[in-house]
Structure 1
C-alpha cells in the first residue's frame, strides 16, 4: 500500500475507534435510529459541501449498484444496529464483535472480487481475531451492565448484525471505486444511508429538543469526523489496495477503543486486555507482509 493510502487508513482507524466511545455516550440520550439519522445528516451536509466545492459530479451508472448496496447496508443498517448494540454492551465489547467484519470482507473479497486468499492474509486474520477475542473476554465483566445477561446477548447479536452488514457493504463498495472517485462513492453512499434512515426523523426531532448539548455535539462529531472524513479516507485507501487487507487494518480498532476508554473514562485495562491489543497489532502486521518470491514463480 502506498504511503498516502496507508496514512488514509490510519486516519480511518483512529476516527472509527473514537466513534465507539462517542456512540456509547450519545446513546444515553438518543435512540439508535435517531442517532444514526443525526449522524448521517451531519455527514451528508459536510460531504455535500466538499463535493459541490470540488465539482465532484454524479457517479456513472456502473458505480450505482455498489453505492446503493454500501449505502443501505453500511451507512444505514450498520449504524442503526451498532447504535442499538452499544446501548446494551460496552464500547470495547462492541468493537471486538464488529471486528468479525473483516473476516466477512476477506472471505467475500477473495471469492466475489477474485482477490484470492494469500496465506499471510489468512494467518493475520486468525492472529488478529484471536487478539480481538482476548480483548472481548478481558472486558466481559462490564458487558451488558445496563440490563444484565439477556441484554448483553442481544447487544452482541446486534453488533454481529452490524459486522455482517459492514463486511457485505465493503464488498459492494470496492467495485464502485473502479468507476467513481472515493469522494463520489462516499458522498452518495451517505446520501443513500440518510434516505434509508428518514423514518426515524420524528424521533430525531423530538430527542434533539430534550438532549443535552454534549450528546448533540457527539452526534455532530460522529457525522463530521468518523463518517464524512473517515469514510472518505477509507474509500481512498480501499481503491488502492484489496478489500481483505483494508478489512484487516480495522483489527486495530478494539485496542485503540480500550486506550481511548482508559484516557476518557478512567478505565485502566488489565494485562489480558493489553495482550489482546498486542495480538491485534501483530495480526495486522502479518496480514500486510509480502510473500517471498521463488526463482521460478511468484506467490499470489
Structure 2
C-alpha cells in the first residue's frame, strides 16, 4: 500500500502578521518589475541600482531608530556581506539590464526560477541532498528557460543578453536567500536588511558618475520612479520579506513568489500594453511547472 508522509511535516498556518508581510512583499516586488521597465530608457542598469539602494539604505536606517543593535559575529558578517553583494548589488544591476531588452513579464518569469535554485543550493551546500523530483523539476524548468530564450530571438548561443542578465538575477536571488536565512537566526530582520542594502549600495558606488549624468537628463517621472524603487520594493518589501523569512523556511516562502510573474504580466498589459510572446508565456508556465515538480515529496511505499 501507499502511505503519505507523516502529518508532522505539514506547515502550520501563517499568523495574520506574517501573511500580511508576504502579501505586501509580493505586491511591491511585482510593481518593481513594472517601474524598472518604465524608467529603463533614462537610467543605466548600474546607475538605477545605485539610486534604488541609496534611497533604500536611508529609509532602512530610520527603521532602526529605537531598536537594539546586535553585533554580528565574523560568520554572520560574511553571510550578510554575501547577501548584500548578491541580492542587492548584482541582482539589481542584472535585473535592470535585463529589462532594457525584455518586457517585464518575461523578466519576472525567468527570475522566478529562483525557488528551484534555492532548493538546489540547499541540497549542494547545506547537505540537504538532491531528491529525484528536484532533479526532474530543474530539468523541466531548464526547458522553460530555453523556450523563453527562443521566443526572445536567441539563435543557438547567439546574443541573448536580456535572458542572460535575467538568469544572473535569478542565481543571485537564490544566493541571497541562502545567505540571508542563517543570518536571521540571531540578527534582527531589520538590521540584516539594512546592512545588506548598505553593502549593496557601496558595491554600486562605481556607477555614481553614471547616476549623476542620468539624473541630469531624466524626466521627473523617472526620478520619482527610482525613488519609489528605493522606498517600497527595497526598504519596505525587503523588510517584510525578512520578517516572514525569520518565521518560515526559505523554500516555503520562496514558493509564494510563484504569483509574481502573473501579477507582472497583468500589470505590464495595463501599464505598457506589453504582453510576453506566446512562446515566452509557454516557457514561463513550463518553468513554474518545473518549480512545482521540484517541491513534490515522494510517497512512502511499504509491502503488504
- If the length of structure 2 is used for normalisation, what is the TM-score? 0.79
C-alpha distance in 2 between matches for 1:278 and 1:155? 19
Query: Which residue in 2 is equivalent to 1:187?
Result: 194
C-alpha distance in 2 between matches for 1:178 and 1:234? 14
C-alpha distance in 1 between matches for 2:265 and 2:193? 28
Cα shift at 1:261:
0.7
CA contact (8 A) 1:135 1:272 kept: yes
Query: Which residue in 1 is equivalent to 2:14?
Result: 3
1:192-234 Cα shifts (integer Å, max 9, x gaps):
0011111111111121121101111111111111111111111
Farther-moved stretch of structure 1 (262-271 vs 6-15): 262-271
C-alpha distance in 2 between matches for 1:151 and 1:32? 22
The one of 246, 253, 263 equivalent to 2:270 is 263
Query: Which residue in 1 is equivalent to 2:4?
Result: none
Matching of residue 51 in structure 1 with residue 52 in structure 2:
no
Query: Which residue in 2 is equivalent to 1:78?
Result: 91
Matching of residue 178 in structure 1 with residue 214 in structure 2:
no
Matching of residue 106 in structure 1 with residue 113 in structure 2:
no
Farther-moved stretch of structure 1 (226-235 vs 277-286): 277-286
Q: How does 1:1-300 map to 2 (within 5 A)?
A: 2-4=13-15, 5-52=18-65, 54-61=66-73, 62-114=75-127, 129=141, 136=148, 140=151, 153-267=160-274
Give RMSD over aligned pairs: 3.4
Structure 2 residue runs without a partner (length 5+)? 1-10
Instruction: Tell me: CA distance 1:198–1:273, structure 2 relative to 1, closer, same or farther (3 Å).
Output: closer
**Size of the alignment, in residue pairs?**
288
The structure that has the greater radius of gyration is 2
Instruction: Tell me: CA distance 1:272–1:30, structure 2 relative to 1, closer, same or farther (3 Å).
Output: closer
CA contact (8 A) 2:114 2:174 kept: yes
Cα shift at 1:12:
1.4
CA contact (8 A) 1:248 1:287 kept: no
Instruction: Tell me: CA distance 1:66–1:26, structure 2 relative to 1, closer, same or farther (3 Å).
Output: same
C-alpha distance in 1 between matches for 2:277 and 2:164? 25
C-alpha distance in 2 between matches for 1:101 and 1:152? 23
CA contact (8 A) 2:109 2:284 kept: no
SS, match of residue 240 in structure 1: coil
